[in-house]
Amino acid sequence: MKALIIGAGGVGTVVTQKIAANPVFTEVMLASRTKSKCDAVAAAIGGGRVQTAQVDADSVPELCALFRSFGPDIVVNVALPYQDLTIMDACLECGVNYLDTANYEPKDEAHFEYSWQWAYQDRFKAKGLTAILGCGFDPGVTAVFTAYAAKHHFDEIHYLDIVDCNAGNHGMAFATNFNPEINIREVTQKGRYYENGRWVVTEPHEIHKPLHYPEIGERESYVIYHEELESLVKNYPTIKRARFWMTFGQEYLTHLRVIQNIGMARIDPILYNGVEIVPIQFLKAVLPDPKSLGANYHGQTSIGCRIRGIKDGKERTYYIYNNCDHEQAYRETGTQAVSFTTGVPAALGASMWAKGLWRGAGVFNVEEFDPDPFLAELGPQGLPWHELFDVDLEV
């Protein structure tokens, strides 16, 4: 099986290492906008295992030229969400299977939803190709955790709270853990959660409370909108309420407020010295590269699902989670835990497809596949998970 990874950022670095280490893939290529970054990742892996190429993933003809010369069976898209549709178009044109970790966002609108990618359903089906959407950690493992809960522990899931804590400290006054432009667009938008068949919209960070995270302790946690809520409430119609909580420190929130107040989070182009620039893209250029944070990052992330529902006529609660240590992630891959927790599931999802365990013609969210083989491998790949039953979920 031949795998082509697109995007040589923090996540792409981890995906490429994990795919290169997996014998199910006979040939591996990493392609990105800047070829020198691909070459550095390939050189660190060594042994001539990883080929590299330059590609502009906004261009379907460029993508198709690359697909035709390398002949991948599956493309793992870990570039930016802006490129999802062009890469899916090229996959359809060249007969290649597809996997990503983040749903499509138009560049000129800080708005993400699955409708654009779900609209490819008939075309992937007609070509007999598989498209796997949202196979990072969240979205990704959080949806697999939900599928596992539904398969083994619940007859009906009623309340789902996905909790995402980064208790790591990178020693910088302000930095984002993945692509700053995508991250800031995500966390500054209005909150949104699902309740009794409709979406409830809140002001950004309006709902918050302290939650306890295993081995970490109490952290202030904020309800934000996150994309897996959209597919999970569709695929598990018994859900009455679904929310996503993320922890933020006060320092981070203060910086974020200032960035917004002074206009640096703007996504529309402005004229600067006769040149058009997009403020948030300029900001990205001066902020620390998320890939560079790993060396001084200490502490853990903890991401999981807190679920309340019914099993055999009785109410039960269930908490399934993974804790990932930044230093351990750095020792293994040279990246911090956020890149690690995203890259490991993406590579694992690609191997599930390559081994024929996650297949189908059409566009799928990960909870539509069997969670068992994926979760059996997740621990050995570096992300062990734990279950707690009948505990106080706090939410």
Closest contact distance (angstroms) between CB of 140 and ligand NDP is: 5
Count residues near ligand NDP (CB under 6 A).
Answer: 33
Please choose, out of 115-123, 124-132, 137-145, 212-220, the segment that lies near ligand NDP by the rule CB under 6 A. 137-145
Could you say whether residue 7 binds ligand NDP (CB under 6 A)?
yes
Among 112, 178, 244, 369, binds ligand NDP (CB under 6 A): 178
Among 70, 76, 139, 163, binds ligand NDP (CB under 6 A): 139
**Alpha-carbon torsion 19, 25, 28, 32, what sign?**
negative
Could you say whether residue 158 binds ligand NDP (CB under 6 A)?
no
Local structure of 148: helix, strand or coil: helix
CB of 53 closer than 8 Å to CB of 38: yes
CB of 250 closer than 8 Å to CB of 236: no
To the nearest 10 degrees (0 to 180), the angle between helices 141-152 and 371-378 is 120
Closest contact distance (angstroms) between CB of 286 and ligand NDP is: 14
Could you say whether residue 294 binds ligand NDP (CB under 6 A)?
no
Q: How many CB atoms lie within 10 A of CB 196?
A: 8
Please choose, out of 10-18, 66-74, 197-205, 377-385, the segment that lies near ligand NDP by the rule CB under 6 A. 10-18
**Nearest CB to ligand NDP, comparing residues 104 and 120:** 104
d(CA 285, CA 186): 18
Rg, C-alpha atoms of the chain: 20
Could you say whether residue 191 binds ligand NDP (CB under 6 A)?
no
Local structure of 100: helix, strand or coil: strand
Q: Whose structure tokens read 């039960």?
A: 316
Give the contacts of 271 (CB within 8 A, at least 6 positions apart).
none
Could you say whether residue 146 binds ligand NDP (CB under 6 A)?
no
Could you say whether residue 37 binds ligand NDP (CB under 6 A)?
yes
**Interaction residues for ligand NDP, span 59-88 (CB under 6 A):** 78-81, 83
d(CA 124, CA 127): 5
Closest contact distance (angstroms) between CB of 288 and ligand NDP is: 11
Q: Whose structure tokens read 């379907």?
A: 60
Could you say whether residue 35 binds ligand NDP (CB under 6 A)?
no
- Contact residues: ligand NDP, CB under 6 A: 7-12, 32-34, 37, 55-58, 78-81, 83, 101-102, 136-140, 178-179, 182, 290-291, 338, 342
